[in-house]
Amino acid sequence: MDMPIDILKDLNRYGMTDSAIARNAGVSQPTIWRIRNAGANCSFKVYRALVVLRDKHMTSAASASSQRRKA
């Protein structure tokens, strides 16, 4: 199981800002800041939203990469 901070780092690598992550996960930007900078624990609901968001971006990044290879 990935730590929330690792999921946030992955999302940043996919080009998402903390504000975009917060908006898409349905939480406030200060919540994302606390997870990232203060090592705060998050609820399962927030954790799950982050996982779903990362999976969505991983899938779209893999699809885009596959499309580039075909071209």
Per residue in 21-71, pLDDT (tens digit) is 999 999 999 999 999 998 888 899 999 999 999 999 888 766 666 666 665
What is d(CA 30, CA 49) in angstroms, rounded to the nearest whole number? Answer: 16
DSSP 3-state of 40: coil
* Residue listed under structure tokens 């900078």: 37
**Residue-range definition of the domain harbouring residue 46:** 4-70
pLDDT of residue 60: 75
Task: Tell me the whole-structure pTM to 2 decimals.
Answer: 0.79
DSSP 41: -
Around Cβ 50, how many Cβ atoms within 10 Å?
A: 24
Q: What Cα–Cα distance (Å) separates residue 37 from each residue in 8, 16, 40?
A: 11, 17, 8
CATH of the domain at 29: 1.10.260
pLDDT of residue 39: 81
pLDDT of residue 3: 92
Number of domains present in the structure of the chain:
1
